[in-house]
Chain A
Amino acid sequence: MKNIIRWPGLITFVVVVGLLALTIRTFAGPLVKSGLEYGLTRANGAEVNIAQLQINWQPFAVSMEEIQFTDPEQPKQNRLQADTAAAELYFWDAVIGRIHITDLRMTGIAMGVARKQPGKVRADYIAERELRDWRQTFADLNIDIPSIDQILQRSEIRTPMLVERVQENFKQQRTAVESARENLPESDTLDEYKERLEVITETRPRTLEELARLRRDLEALRSDMRADRDAVRAFVSVSEQAVAVMRTDLTELRAAPGQDIARVRSLLTLNPDSLTEVSGILFGPVVEQWSHYAFMAFDFIGPMLTRSEDDETKPSRWEGRYIDFDRQQRPVFLIEQALTDIQFANTHIGVEWQNLTWQHDRIGGTPSTYSLAASASQYWQSLALDGRFTLSDLAGFAGSQSWQVQGVNLTEQRLFAQNDVVARLLSAVLNSQGEVGVEAGQISGSGLVRLQDVALQMQGDARWAEILGDVLAGITAFDLNVGVSGNMRAPGLSIRSDLDRQLQRGLTAALTAEADAKLGELRRDLEARVSAATATWDPRLQELLGTLAGAREQNATLNDLFSVEPDDLELGDILKDRLRDSLRGRLGGN
């Protein structure tokens, strides 16, 4: 035996192994802490810190303090943190890799809290959503509430141009009319025509020669009158056109100041598209913050999903695989019951969890459930949140969550701060309800956030900030319709709100009030221009109308004179009385 055993070696082995066991026993806490931090960092995608970890051997329990999960999307803050976490679990199960926690308690849970130092994000982390930069959106929106002078500059006041155009038109028409008037026959000429016709018509031809002569005289008279008749007709036509143009122009001119003012007012009404983002900009970050609480369950579930996906990794022939001989189908990870204490608005809310696992098939398909119910407090009237989910090989991940929040008293909080412009929600009462479903890891659903008794404040030196601040101060209630979609671990939010419509109305009213004085001045100026123009051209139109009436009279006279045809002349008393009577009537009864 002495030849076989190497005592120094045996003693060395025992000492080394003993020291190793003692070291593990002594430093189990730091060792497990490092292992947990590594594993959780891998699952989280960003640095996970555990300030302290203690192991209690009998009964076997692990307690941790100050656990921080860095938000991989925003490394300066934690997506989740907890003051303490304590779990009782089965030691031998844990040794062989089966985590079966009978009771888990977490306190001081908070979301979206700023870290002392930015956490490290794993290089292989793939962003699951593109964060919306509300500040950049605000900058892109480029809110510009124009001054009245700017609006006047770009509003294309048409009245002065119209005055010029009308004057130009009038001048053209006057030239045309005066040109046509120059060709009008003198009244003496017309009288002469009448006398010559009278002579012809009063004569009683006794012979055929006399009749032929009279006909020749009539032909000569008609020939003489023809040019004058054409001139009169041309004048009437030109004058009628001039009257029509002048009447139209004057009507248009009189309406122009009113139309210009209406156009300016329409420009004062802000484009609705330019304000659709304001509610998102003001409340987007806050709603995102609220959503951290609404979807906190997914922060717990997320690492389980990752673990579930890891289980599906195809084994390598170079690395081998572990074969599961558990015919009792016990889950590899199970938290039977957990009580988490969430810190919210300087108070605490308890959330109960049941059957947390990613292998629901192994617990008979029983879903993991969580529920939050808080009775009335100084901060709210009631809070209720329920959710359930299952992960199975057949159906994949499925779950749902609903919430109902009544009478939450929101305290003062900053909504937005950029370039010396600060917007604050001074106070409001929040009611909200909604429901989301999860299918194959994708979340979809919506929620309504109803804010009442709202007091908003915006301060800033910019002119738009002052105006917007006045309008915001007048808003007392609005709704935010929040749409939720995307990956359940990083849901994307979309916000629609009637706040935008209210802002649009308010801003328009504010601008209109500011503009009223200047618009009155503008109206007076435009109306003065129009009055000056119409004062000149109205009498001229009347004058033209008088001339036109005279010309029409001349035209009628000439038509009557032309009504006597040479064939109408016959021997004897052949001219009809009707012709004579007609001529007499037209020529004044002579």
Chain B
Amino acid sequence: MITLLAKLLKALNAETSPWALAWAFVLGMFLGLTPLFSLHNILILFLALSLRINLTGFIVAFIIFSGIAYIIDPLFDYLGESILQAEALQGFWIGLYENPLARLLQYNHTITMGSVVFALLFAIPWLFISYYLIVAYRGRVKAWFERLRFVQVIKGTKFFVVYQRISGLRGGSL
């Protein structure tokens, strides 16, 4: 875990593109919020592996959003139920029901539908929020962060040693 966080910090601090990190957060969010063993997640994995996004950011986002999903599953259930029961969409859903691929995607499962729709709607805002946060971190927070007393303490810990080894910059700064 320490290694993973160190890698994330390295990514945040290094020359990794903010967009690459933001997209990683978006895909991790998608994977984390929706039921893991779903067909659409193969597509998410495909994107995460095929595109030049930051994998560490992807994994960290997946872990964090998995925890969040565990808490808000009833919300997804409610959302999915509402969407699947919407009168206007009934014809569409009934048509999809005859499609094996749609059935494999488990579109008629309330939590899957709710979480996927939520993740899709939240993806774009989350992309920009992530981008903004990364840029802001690099521009302002990083300097402020380094001045914090506990950061000074951390520099003397094992975590920092690991971080240095990962970053390959002996005597480098945060």
Which residues of A are at the interface with B, using a C-beta cutoff of 8 A? 3-6, 9-10, 12-13, 17, 92, 95-97, 315, 317-327
Contact = CB atoms under 8 A, between A and B. Distances in A.
Contact of B112 (A10, A317, A320): A320
25 contacts: A3-B52, A5-B50, A6-B49, A6-B50, A9-B49, A9-B50, A9-B51, A10-B49, A10-B50, A13-B45, A17-B42, A92-B100, A315-B110, A317-B73, A317-B74, A320-B76, A320-B109, A322-B106, A322-B110, A323-B85, A323-B109, A323-B110, A325-B108, A326-B97, A327-B94
A362 to B, nearest CB: 14
Interface residues of B, number: 32
A57 B103 CA distance: 20
Contacts of A321: 77, 109-110
Tell me what chain B mostly uses at the interface: helix, strand, loop, or mixed. Answer: helix
B120 interface: no
Interface in B95-129: 96-97, 100, 103-104, 106, 108-112, 114
B109 A95 contact: no
Contacts of A9: 48-51
Nearest to A319: B111
B160 interface: no
B79 to A, nearest CB: 11
Nearest to B80: A320
A96 B109 contact: no
Given A319-B73, A323-B93, A323-B108, 16 more contacts: A6-B50, A10-B46, A13-B46, A13-B49, A17-B42, A92-B100, A95-B100, A95-B104, A96-B100, A317-B74, A317-B78, A318-B73, A320-B73, A320-B80, A322-B109, A323-B110
Given A13-B49, A327-B94, A322 B108 contact: yes
The 8 A-B residue pairs whose C-beta atoms are closest, nearest first, are A320-B111, A9-B49, A96-B103, A325-B97, A10-B50, A320-B110, A317-B74, A92-B100
B84 interface: yes
A92 B48 CA distance: 29
Contact of B77 (A5, A95, A320): A320
B137 to A, nearest CB: 23
Interface of B: 42, 45-46, 48-52, 73-74, 76-78, 80-81, 84-85, 90, 93-94, 96-97, 100, 103-104, 106, 108-112, 114
A8 to B, nearest CB: 9
A321 to B, nearest CB: 6
A318 B100 CA distance: 25
Given A320-B77, A325-B93, A4 B108 contact: no
B51 A6 contact: yes
B52 A6 contact: yes
A10 B96 CA distance: 30
A14 to B, nearest CB: 9
Contacts of A324: 108
Nearest to B114: A320
Contacts of A323: 81, 84-85, 93, 108-110
Nearest to B84: A323
Contacts of A322: 106, 108-110
B109 A5 contact: no
Given A96-B100, A320-B109, A323-B85, A12 B49 contact: yes
A322 B84 CA distance: 10
Contacts of B108: 322-325
A326 B78 CA distance: 21
A314 to B, nearest CB: 13
Nearest to A318: B73
A12 to B, nearest CB: 6
A583 B14 CA distance: 166
Contacts of A319: 73, 111
Contacts of B114: 320
Nearest to A2: B52
B51 A4 contact: yes
Nearest to B55: A9
A16 to B, nearest CB: 9
A6 B52 CA distance: 5
A238 to B, nearest CB: 108
B95 to A, nearest CB: 9
Given A92-B100, A317-B77, A318-B74, A325 B94 contact: yes
B145 to A, nearest CB: 30
A323 B48 CA distance: 31
A97 B108 CA distance: 13
A5 B50 CA distance: 6
Contacts of A12: 49
A96 B101 CA distance: 9
Contacts of B49: 6, 9-10, 12-13
Contact of A325 (B51, B77, B96, B111): B96
B82 to A, nearest CB: 12
Nearest to A12: B49
A321 B84 CA distance: 11
Given A317-B74, A317-B77, A322-B108, A5 B51 contact: yes
A325 B84 CA distance: 9
Interface hub of A92, A317, A324, A325 (most chain B Cβ within 10 A): A325
Nearest to B46: A13
Contacts of A317: 73-74, 77-78
Contact of B50 (A13, A320, A327): A13
A95 B111 CA distance: 21
A92 B104 CA distance: 10
A13 B78 CA distance: 34
Contacts of B42: 17
A5 B48 CA distance: 10
Contacts of B77: 317-318, 320-321
A576 B50 CA distance: 163
Nearest to A6: B52
A96 B108 CA distance: 11
